[in-house]
Structure 1
Amino acid sequence: MELRAIVMGLAFAMMWSSAFASARIIVSAAPPLGSLALRFLVSGLLAVALARLMGQSWRLSRAQWRATIVFGLCQNALYLGLNFVAMQWVEASLASIIASVMPLLVALASWLLFKERLRPLGYAGLLAGIVGVTLIMGARLQGGADPLGVGLCVLGVISLAVATMSVRGAITGGNVMMIVGLQMLVGSALLWPVAIAFETPQVDWSWRLVAAFSYTVLVPGVAATFLWVVLVERIGAIRAATFHFLNPFFGVAVAAVLLGEPMGVYDVIGVAIITAGILAVQLSRLSSRK
């Protein structure tokens, strides 16, 4: 893999992982679902405008519209919606760790539902992921982590895995950035009624909130997505997915630096095990495609 692709992959992993820390800042000062709906509205409009500048069309195929709607529901409204609500009670580091096991869930579902065979290294990676998550979750729950918040994060990552499995191959045929923008707008449209019905529009304004929201819109929302698309086009989806093994480490590290969240010994051990598990699964799938 060329050096430029490695740098792009590292930048994407850092951007993606940092979103949990900025989200934690946002939900501490503003309603979570309303904030997320506004973020998707702004990010979606920016992505659609960027797609138009790239010459992409919003005339999508039936499969692409299905991908847009499914991702808008499962990835944005459910996965991120549940995580934003959960981070009122759980730390950003824990939320990022739970979310980072998505590649393991997809690999497990591919094996169980689609009979996609893995090499022995892949099965070892799945087992390592389960061990790492169990270790961290057990330590965090004993340390007082909110069970409801943890449960919402778990439901969220399952929703993300379902979305990933449901639209396999559906975004082929171009217009990827347009699909990204439209699925954000779908998520925004789904979240606004819930936010209006159940949340009080009370915001504790500060420069920290404005900075966190702006960062979330521009960096994880638009820049990371664009970088991911370019990376996939450059080296392929399977190779690009190997960079997800960095997400547990980056997520915990960013939360510790920006938010001062504690990092226990079980967190370090568990993150190392999960990271190794994700890497093993991705490398196994990569070698099986050669």
Structure 2
Amino acid sequence: MDLKSVAMGLGFAFMWASAFTSTRVIVTAAPPLTALVIRFALSAIIGIAIARAMGQSWRLTRNEWRVLIIFGVAQNALYLGLNWIAMQTVQASAAAIIASMMPLLVAFFGWAWMGERLRPVAVAGLILGVIGVAIVMGVRLQHGLDPFGVVLCLVAVVALTVATLVARGAGGSRNMLMIVGLQMAVGAAVLTLPAIAMEWGREIEWSWTLVLAFLYTVAAPGLAATFIWFLLVNRIGAVRAATFHFLSPIFGVTIAAIFLGERFGLSDIIGACIVAAGILMVQMARLPDATAQPPATARTESRS
């Protein structure tokens, strides 16, 4: 893996983890689904405009439409929608820990649902990940963590896991930024009616902190992180790219502690490190054997 890929992976992991802190700021001051619809709409307009300026087309293949609709509904509407609702009462660091389970759940559901083989190291990583989450959540629940919010976060990460499995292997499109923009538009469309039904008339507590958090969420986690993720997957493959998720629990807890003053006790440090180790073990176990290299022509085509 070259330095550029490492830098992209670190940037993605940081932005992905930081989204929980900026989201926490937003949902404590504004209706979550309404704010999310606005975020998706802005991201869609910006993303599609830039994609068109780059010469990308919205005349996509059937598979590309399938992928963007799946991710638009499962990742944007379900995963983010449920997370934003939950984070009205769930701390950013706790939500980040739960969301970081996604690579572990992908491995587990791949084994249970698709019959994929798990190496012993991956099994050990799954067990470690569960132990780490249990340590963090167990102590947090004793300190007043909202159980219902935790359930919403768990349902959300399962939705993202299913979407990842269903659409796995997709990528390499020359219209990638257009796909990202349209994916945001799907999320906005799906959440518009629930936002109106559940949040009509709710007030917004305006502040510069809210505005800056919203702009950051649109620009960094909304567009930049998603675009970098697709580029990274095309560059080094989905399995290697997903390895960088092991940094998410560590980044998520640290960023929330620095900017929001959230709890940063010994159990959080130990639990986040255990989850990170479990994710890394699972992803390392899934890496293809270095001695089994594909033909040169296949490697060239995968980056075209």
Q: Which residue pairs with 1:203 in the alignment? A: 204
* Partner AA of 2:7 in structure 1: V
In the TM superposition, residue 172 of structure 1 has moved relative to its aligned partner by 4.7
Question: Over residues 69-122 of structure 1, what are the superposed CA-to-partner deviations in whole Å (9 max), with x where a residue is unaligned?
Answer: 111111111100001011110100000100010010011011111111122111
Q: Which residue pairs with 1:284 in the alignment? A: 285
* Structure-2 separation of matches of 1:87 and 1:113: 30
Alignment of 1:92-111 (within 5 A): 92-111=92-111
* Partner AA of 1:249 in structure 2: I
Alignment of 1:76-91 (within 5 A): 76-91=76-91
Q: Is the 8 A contact 2:171 2:233 kept in 1?
A: no
* Structure-1 separation of matches of 2:183 and 2:228: 17
Q: Is the 8 A contact 1:132 1:274 kept in 2?
A: yes
Alignment of 1:85-234 (within 5 A): 85-199=85-199, 200-234=201-235
Q: Secondary structure at the residue paired with 1:25?
A: helix
Residues 174 and 112 (structure 1), Cα distance of their counterparts in 2 relative to 1, 3 Å cut: farther
Question: Over residues 9-52 of structure 1, what are the superposed CA-to-partner deviations in whole Å (9 max), with x where a residue is unaligned?
Answer: 11111111000000000011110000000000001111112222
Q: Is the 8 A contact 1:63 1:171 kept in 2?
A: no
Question: Over residues 43-69 of structure 1, what are the superposed CA-to-partner deviations in whole Å (9 max), with x where a residue is unaligned?
Answer: 111111222233221112222212111
* Structure-2 separation of matches of 1:166 and 1:230: 19
Q: Is the 8 A contact 1:77 1:188 kept in 2?
A: yes
Q: Is the 8 A contact 2:43 2:219 kept in 1?
A: yes
* Partner AA of 1:105 in structure 2: L
The answer to whether the aligner puts 1:262 opposite 2:266 as a matched pair is no
Q: Which residue pairs with 2:273 in the alignment? A: 272
Q: Which residue pairs with 1:51 in the alignment? A: 51
Q: Secondary structure at the residue paired with 1:217?
A: helix
Question: Over residues 171-214 of structure 1, what are the superposed CA-to-partner deviations in whole Å (9 max), with x where a residue is unaligned?
Answer: 45442222111111000011111111110341111100000000
* Structure-1 separation of matches of 2:71 and 2:231: 19
**Displaced runs of 4+ in structure 1, greater than 4 A?**
none
Q: TM-score, normalised by structure 1?
A: 0.96
Alignment of 1:35-50 (within 5 A): 35-50=35-50
Q: Aligned residues, how many? A: 290
- Percent identity of equivalent pairs: 58
Cα root mean square deviation, aligned? 1.4
